[in-house]
Chains A and B, each alone.
Chain A
Amino acid sequence: KNEVEQSPQNLTAQEGEFITINCSYSVGISALHWLQQHPGGGIVSLFMLSSGKKKHGRLIATINIQEKHSSLHITASHPRDSAVYICAVRGGSNYKLTFGKGTLLTVNP
C-alpha cells in the first residue's frame, strides 16, 4: 500500500462542475503539495500546505492534519483544467517528497 493514496484515479466532468480530488496519507508530514501536470508537460506546483486552507483563483486546497487527509477543489471547472493532479507529502526529513499516483481529470466542454 502506497503511503499516499489519491481518489479517484480518473475523473470526468462537464464544464462548470465542481471538482473534488482527495488525498490520504499514512505518515507524519511537515507539508503537503498539490501538483498539476498537463499531458506532455512539466509539473507545476499549485499549493504547499501544512494546515488549514489555501485558495488561488478557482482552486482551493484544504488539509486536516489529524485525519491525514487533504482535498483539492476546482470550482467552475473548465476544459483547460484537464490534467493529472498529484498529491505529494514531505515527511519529517523535510526535503523528500512521497507522491500519490495522481488523478487524471478530464473536463468536457
Chain B
Amino acid sequence: EAGVTQFPSHSVIEKGQTVTLRCDPISGHDNLYWYRRVMGKEIKFLLHFVKESKQDESGMPNNRFLAERTGGTYSTLKVQPAELEDSGVYFCASSVGTGFGYTFGSGTRLTVV
C-alpha cells in the first residue's frame, strides 16, 4: 500500500509569490488533514477534509491560505501571497475514519525569503 505522498519535499520562494503544496492520501482514506510546524513551535492543526468537504478549517492562519480537495482524492494547499512567517514544514495526514490512526506524509519544507 502506498503511503501518504507530499509534493514538493522542499520549496523556496520569495515573499509575495504563490506556492501550491500537494498531498496524495492513502487510497480509500476519506479523512485528510493538514498540519504545520513553524520553526521552534509545536505542530499545529490547519484543517480537516472528509472526502471533498472541509469539516474544520479553524486552524487556517488567514485568507492567504486556500485548501482544496476536488473529487475527494488529493488535496492542495495554496499560499498566496506568501509571507516570511509562512515558512515551516507542512504535513499532510490521512485516516480511514476519525477514530482511527493517522498516516503522515513526509512533509513539505517551505522557506519564504
Contact = CB atoms under 8 A, between A and B. Distances in A.
Interface string B87-113: 000010100001101111111000000
A35 to B, nearest CB: 7
5 contacts: A4-B42, A35-B104, A41-B106, A43-B107, A96-B56
Interface of A: 2, 4, 30-31, 33, 35, 41-45, 48, 86, 88, 93-102
B93 to A, nearest CB: 8
A99 B43 contact: yes
B31 interface: yes
Given A86-B43, A94-B98, A44 B56 contact: no
Interface residues of B, number: 23
Interface of B: 31, 33, 35, 41-45, 48, 55-56, 59, 91, 93, 98-99, 101-107
